[in-house]
Structure 1
Amino acid sequence: MAMNHQRPERRQGSSVVRGDLVPDSTYDQRLLDRKGPTHWLHEDPWRVLRIQSEFVEGFGALAELPPAVTVFGSARTGADTADYELGVRVGAALAKAGYAVITGGGPGLMEAANRGALEAGGVSVGLGIELPHEQRLNDYVDLGVEFRYFFVRKTMFVKYAYGFVALPGGFGTLDELFEALTLVQTRKVTSFPVILMGTEFWSPLIGWLRDTLQRTGKISPQDLDLVSLTDDPDEAVRMIVEADRRRSDGGSRGK
């Protein structure tokens, strides 16, 4: 019997389900859904064990990585674009400087950064997530870990990174960007550079932060110094290396 390669497929942590076994919702959706009776009272304590296992699996898989940098960017950007080429250059520059490159493992600019790292001889890491629509780890990932829960995956993005690089992206990229800035602002992490790649794309956001948030007192003037903006991958790597050196001179990473 010929196999139907168009069957729906979903990654669920370390498992793969296909066809009729693909559920109608994700683990995150079921965790966060507050509808219905009090059955959650009996189910959620057991979910804690699954969440715990994801932390353990992630820590175990990533613990022996070399120094790493997490790169974010749009999953919707094609390989024939200037942004994709920038992502490849960023991944390659980081790898040549001795950093592993961590992405969300998906297509688009995540793939670009993984590709650049792999082709430059570096370590290319993808941290995937269960989504309602089909998505697989891109072909340039050396080490891939699949997660059910966003918040576990977010912890891994930060814990093993010496900095963040944000390529042009959408809601997911903005989510990770502002979470990183909040962690640095509140000193949950220290000596942790946050670099925006693509001045044309990011300049309007920087202008809004300055002209709206800072002007109305929602952030302090020094908060704008927590983020750097450049088009040059080598400059981005230099900022990360300098922050890493300051971290080493100061002792603990503060994580």
Structure 2
Amino acid sequence: MSAPTGSSRPIRSELRRFGIWRKNGAGLDTADARLLETPHSSDFTHTDPWRVMRIQSEFVQGFDALAEIGPAISVFGSARTKPDSPYYAAGVDVGRLLVEAGVAVITGGGPGSMEAANRGASEAGGLSIGLGIELPFEQGMNEWVGLGVDFRYFFARKTMFVKYAQGFIVLPGGLGTLDELFEAMVLVQTSKVSQFPIVLLGKTFWSPLMDWVRDVMVEQGLVSAGDLDIVQLVDTAEEAVQRVMEGKAGTRVAAKG
């Protein structure tokens, strides 16, 4: 994927935000839930086609907001990471080091490790981006986001994570983090994207998962041994940023001038 070009002006001082979703009191009625609900009558023929217009608007909104951010790296990790956790500290370091390397930082815009990476990027004077999602338990965009884009639909948001980043750094996380990690791995495995570095930070956390892939999935012929090379495991923020900036097979992420 080629790196888009654009301004490198830090925008932490003024939050620019696109697409505010509807707040609800029940905490269960989200746009994704309504879209995926099994229809019990023919009423869906009158509602689902119109949802296409909203979905289209989310893609247009994302493309418009992010078109000129320049080269960026997406950082994933748990929303449940506490500020006193070493993972949080690592996230802050990752955000800072990425900015110092000349790229913007993209996260899911939430708390925990996402907040940490946004904080590191913001404190370093760089472009700190948050792609938020409407969830029943959503806590809103963290205070360190300079450019925020809100999404109702996961698939629209996921597209932006990949389209506008030249690589991923993945901190320890839960199901959402695993979902984002494996989707990125599949895109590389199937050649939907190429030369797209994926770096896992925290060998103690990630090694058991990779061992299971090797000992079970590879052993049973469900994935190829070479698929393990899609990801790189490191233990420090410095290593993570170095590896993601080096890229894969000798390629490099094009940093801002």
State the TM bucket, normalised to the shorter chain: 0.7 to 0.9
Q: What SS is found at the alignment partner of 1:15?
A: coil
For residues 25-58 of structure 1, the C-alpha deviation after alignment (integer angstroms, 9 at most, x for no partner) is: 0000000001321211121111101100000000
Q: Note if 1:177 corresponds to 2:185.
A: no
1:14 aligns with 2:23: no
Tell me if structure 1 keeps the 8 A contact 2:21–2:152.
no
- Residues 115-155 of structure 1: CA distance to partner in whole angstroms, max 9, x if unpaired? 01111111100000011124210000000000010000000
Q: Which amino acid aligns with 1:14?
A: G
Check if 1:135 corresponds to 2:146. Answer: no
Identity of aligned residues (%): 58
Instruction: Tell me which amino acid in the other structure corresponds to 1:58.
Output: G
Q: Could you say which residue in structure 2 is the equivalent of 1:97?
A: 101
1:40-79 residue CA offsets vs partner (Å, 9 max, x unmatched): 1121111101100000000000000120000000000110
Match of 2:88 among 84, 90, 95: 84
| Corresponding position: 1:216 with 2:220 | yes
2:78 to 74, 79, 85: 74
Stretches (4+) displaced over 6 A = none
Match of 2:65 in 1: 61
Count of residues in correspondence between the two structures: 236
Shift of the 237–247 alpha-carbon distance from structure 1 to 2, 3 Å rule, reads closer
TM-score, normalization: structure 2? 0.87
Where 2:166 maps in the other structure, the secondary structure is: strand
Partner of 2:230: 226
2:125 counterpart of 1:121: yes
Distance 1:129 1:154 in 2: 10
1:164 is aligned to 2:168 = yes
| 1:8 aligned partner | none
Distance, in Å, in 2 between the alignment partners of 1:199 and 1:24 is 36
Structure 2 CA distance for partners of 1:45 and 1:138, relative to 1, 3 Å: same
Unaligned runs of 5+ in 2: 1-17
Cα 1:119/1:221, change in 2 over 3 Å:
same
Can you list the C-alpha shifts for 1:64-111, whole angstroms capped at 9, x where unaligned? 012000000000011011110011111111111011000000000000
Name the structure 2 match of 1:242: 246
Structure 1 unaligned spans of 5+: 1-12, 250-255
CA distance in 2, matches of 1:218, 1:246: 29
| Higher relative helix content | 1
Name 1:9's counterpart in structure 2: none
Deviation at 1:221, TM superposition (A): 1.0
Q: CA RMSD in A?
A: 1.8
Q: Distance in 2 between matches of 1:154 and 1:184?
A: 15
Larger radius of gyration, structure 1 or 2? 1
Q: Which has the higher contact order (CA 8 A, sep 6+)?
A: 2
Q: Which amino acid is 2:234 matched to?
A: T
Helix, strand or coil at the partner of 2:167:
strand
Using the TM superposition, give the Cα deviation of residue 241 of structure 1 relative to its aligned residue in structure 2, in angstroms. 2.1
- Give 3-state SS (helix, strand or coil) of 1:145's partner: strand
